[in-house]
Structure 1
C-alpha cells in the first residue's frame, strides 16, 4: 500500500494486527512542562529555556511567542499584591525555521512574566505557557555595578532609601511597583520605564543613573549661579532633594550663603512628607499637631491632599531623611 503523508502506516498481510499511528497524534511538546517556572539569574541574565516539540512532519515550522506582565502595586512588603492592574507590559515575535526547538531569547532583552509560545505544524498548532520570575541581586552586586558607572557617588544611598536595594518582591518574584508607578530598584517613574527597564535591575539602574546625572548637573548649575560657592554636602542635599522633587536651598542675603528652605516643616515619621508653613492652615502648629491632623490621608497619596489637609511631598524632607538630618 502506498504510504500517505499525514495518514500513518499500514500493511496488506493477512491475519496481522495493523497499528495505525497518526502523525498528528504524535505531535507533542518535549519541553518545557506547562506552567513551568524559570528564574532570571541574580546577575540579570535569562536562564536557558528550550521549547522543543516532537513530530514526524518535516518542513518549515511557524513559531510565535508573546510575553506579558500585568503590574500591580506591591510596595516593599513581602505579601500578595492587591488592587487593579496599573500597567500591562507586552512584547511578541515570530519566525519560521526547520528546527524543532527554540532557545528563548528576546533580542538580548531580559524580560519576565508569562511567556506563551505557539508553533504551527501543518494544520495543527501547539501552544504552551511558562512563567519567568526574577531574583534579587546581592548588595555587593549592586555596589559593584554602580562602581562601573561614572559620577554616581551617593547613588547607592538613594537605592537603599527607595527599595532597600531590592528590585523584586521575593514573595512572587516580580518587580517592585509603587502606587505612583515607580518601578524596580530605582523606582523609575519619569521617564516611564520600558519593559526591560522594569525587569532587568541593571537596565533599571542604568536608566536611573541618567536621571541622577541630570539632577547633579541641574543642582550644580543652580548652586553655582552668579558665581556663588557651595560645599560638597550642600550639593549632595540639593541633588537628593531634586531626585524626589524640588530644590533644597534658597539664597540667604544676610549671610550670603545657601541655606535650607526656611518655610518647610517635615514629618519625621515619613520619608518625604512635609508642610509649607506659609499656608494659613499650618501656621503656629507643631509637627505632632500637623501629623495628627493629616496622617490618615497619607495613604491616599495626592488624592489625600486638600485645603483641610495641605500636606505635600517635599524633596527637602526626602533629602533630610536620606542624609540623616
Structure 2
C-alpha cells in the first residue's frame, strides 16, 4: 500500500500559477524581475570578489559579509529563474521531486541567512563593546567556526523539514497560487496526516527566529548602551555607522517576516503573500550588497579601481 502511495505521489505534479492572473503585466514583470535578478547576481558576486582582492577587507566583518553575499546569491538563483520561466511559458507544471529540491535548497539559504545575521550582530557587539580584545575573541578560527555553525544549522534544519514533507502523500495534481515551492503549499496539497510536519515546521522556524532575534536584539541593546556612553561625537558616529548597514538588512529581513506571518490582514491576501515571496527571493538579495556598499568607502574605492582597470584594458 505504501509503495502504491509513493508511486502516485511521484506521478503527480504541482502547477505554479505565479503571476498568470495578470497576463497584461507579463512582459513588464519579466523585465523587472530579470533586471533585479541581474543586479542581485552581479552585486553579490561583485561583493565576494571585492572582499577577496582587497587586503583592507580581510577582516572578520567582511568575512561574514562575503558569506552572506554567497547565501543571497544562492537563494536568488534557486528561486528567480523559475519565476522568470513561469512568466513566459504556458506549461507551469513542476514535479514533486523538483519542488522538494527547490524548497530544500531555499530553506537552507533562508535559515543560514538568519544564523549569519545573528553572527554578524555578535561580531559588531564584540567590536564596539570590547574593542581591546576583538582580535582575540573574533579570531580566524572563531570566524570559521561561527560560519560553519550557521551553514550547519541551515542544512540540518532543511534536511529535517524536507524529510517531514517527503513522508507525505499527494493524491492529485494541485494548482498552487505562487511561483515558489513553500512549506505551506505542500501541506495544503497533501492528502495524508500533516500533524508531524506541522510540528516540525513550528519547532525549527520558531527556534531559528527566536534564537537569532534574541542574539541580534541583545547585541544591539549592549551596542546602543556603549555608544551612548561614548564622550566623543565622532566616536559615536563611527560606531553607529559600522552597524547601520547590518541593522538595515536585519530590519528588512525580519520586518518582512513580521508583516507576512504575524499580521492576520496580510496573511489573508494571496497577492501580498506572493509579493512577500518576491521580496525574499529577489528584492532582499538585490538590496543587501547595495546596503553594505553604499556607506562603505573601502568597498566603493575597490569597485572604482576595478572599473578603472577594466576601462584601461578595453
Q: Which has the higher contact order (CA 8 A, sep 6+)?
A: 2
Normalized per residue, which structure has more strand? 1
Q: Same fold judged by TM-score > 0.5?
A: no
Highest CA radius of gyration, 1 or 2? 1
Q: Per the shorter chain, which TM-score range?
A: under 0.3
Normalising by structure 1, we get a TM-score of: 0.25
Normalising by structure 2, we get a TM-score of: 0.25
